Amino acid sequence: MTKRRSIVVANWKMFMGPSDGEHLAHNIVDICQSFSSVDVVICPPLVSLTKVGSVIEGTRIKLGAQNIFWEPDEGPFTGEVSAQMIAGWCEYVIVGHSERRQHFEETDDIVNKKVKAGLQHGLKVIICVGESLVENNAGDTKDIIEYQVRSAYQGVLPNDALQTVVAYEPIWAIGTGLASTPYAANRVCAKYVRGTLDRIFGYEVSQAIRIQYGGSINRNNISEFIVQVDIDGVLIGGSSLSADEFAAILHVIDR
Ligand code: 13P
């Protein structure tokens, strides 16, 4: 099995409006041009997609959205944006981030609909899964992650599954400065995420799908995570808001 290509995704969350986003994208392009062995994706807020998209056009950096609605095409859904609309601009979309599950009551069923909507329009879908601190402490991580993975891929065909990435983000590690340990994160990615993908799609497909870790990644801890066999990249929040910090992380992964 050839090594899976690393993928690093910047999730800017609700930071970086159009002019700040444009500025940061310029800085990232300046510093990050030379990285060749890693896929780099920037996911700005919706309103910044066009500006950031035009800055990174012609570079190796890809554009992603942070969310889509579950209706794939169009309709009377005030304030929402569909996969069809996003597909004109973006190559990637993040679906099922824990902040959306938590603040917008996105259920596993909704996440599954969004996954299918994205795939239907040719987007590469980054599917987020992760357990809470309470669930972790109760020893429920295995059940939660396996359930979230199974639900997200309900009705997805193996060929389409190859267009997805899974991001394992333990909720208690997001924005807290308290990352999981590389060993524990790799165990979840290998056993509960890839193991479940193996049972759904078989060995070949499960080995080809990339799995990221996310949660308090920075330039100091990245090297320990990226060497783990089943961690194929990272989904980065806070540390992606500084071009220097982001570049330092990429530098470690690219060597
Ligand atoms: P932090 O890197 O800020 O912990 O955020 C992780 C995350 O939620 C990325 O989607």
Size of the chain in residues: 255
To the nearest whole number, what is the mean pLDDT of the chain? Answer: 96
Q: Closest by alpha carbon to 174, among 107, 86, 248, 234?
A: 234
Q: What is the mean pLDDT of residues 239-248?
A: 97
- Give the pLDDT band (50/70/90) at residue 33: confident
Pairwise pLDDT comparison (218 vs 35), residue with the higher score: 218
What does the pLDDT read at residue 32?
A: 80
In a domain, 126, yes or no: yes
Phi-psi domain of 202 (left: phi exceeds 0; alpha: psi -120 through 50; beta: other): left
**pLDDT reading at 137 higher than 90:** yes
Q: What is the pTM of this model?
A: 0.98
Q: Is residue 159 part of a domain?
A: yes
Q: What is the CATH number of the domain that holds 160?
A: 3.20.20.70
Question: Is 219 contained in some domain?
Answer: yes
Mutation choice for ligand 1 from 7, 9, 11, CB with most ligand atoms inside 8 A:
11
Query: Quick check: is 23 catalytic?
Result: no
- What pLDDT digit, counting tens, does each position of 191-227 carry? 999 999 999 999 999 999 999 999 999 999 999 999 9
Identify whether the C-beta of residue 241 lies closer than 8 Å to the C-beta of residue 16.
Answer: yes
Number of structural domains (the chain) is 1
7 phi, psi to nearest 5 deg: -135, 125
| Residue 110: CA count within 13 A, CB half-sphere | 14
Task: Average the pLDDT over each of 34-38, 49-53, 144-148, 153-157 and give the range with the smallest value.
Answer: 34-38
Active site residue 97: yes
The 3-state secondary structure of 165-217 reads EEEECCHHHCCCCCCCCHHHHHHHHHHHHHHHHHHHHCHHHHHHCEEEEECCC
pLDDT at 1 over 60: no
**Strands 6-11 vs 233-236: parallel, antiparallel or unpaired:** parallel
Q: Which atom of ligand 1 is nearest to the CA of 215?
A: 4
- Please give the pLDDT value at position 2: 60
Ligand 1, CB within 6 Å, residue ranges? 11, 97, 169, 174-175, 214-217, 235-239
| 18 found inside a domain | yes
Nearest to 196 by CA among 222, 164, 228: 164
Ligand 1 atom with least separation from CA of 94: 10
Angle between helices 108-120 and 141-152 (to 10 degrees): 40
CA atoms within 13 A on the CB side of 72: 11
Q: Give the structural domain span for 246.
A: 6-254
Q: Is residue 1 part of a domain?
A: no
pLDDT mean over 110-123: 98
Beta-bridged to residue 235, according to DSSP, are 9, 214
Q: Give the residue among 111, 114, 115, 79 at the shortest CA–CA distance from 98.
A: 111
Residue tagged active-site, from 97, 99, 106, 131? 97
Q: What is the pLDDT of residues 175-186, one digit of tens each?
A: 999 999 999 999
Quote the percentage of the chain above a pLDDT of 70.
99
Q: Comparing C-alpha atoms, which of 193, 236, 181, 202 is closest to residue 6?
A: 236
What pLDDT is attached to residue 100? 98
- Please give the distance, rounded to the nearest whole angstrom, from the Cα atom of residue 76 to the centre of ligand 1: 32
Q: Which of 13, 101, 103, 128 maximizes ligand 1 atoms within 8 Å of its Cβ, making it the mutation to test the pocket?
A: 13
What does the pLDDT read at residue 116?
Answer: 98
Q: Per-residue pLDDT averaged across 4-14, rounded?
A: 97
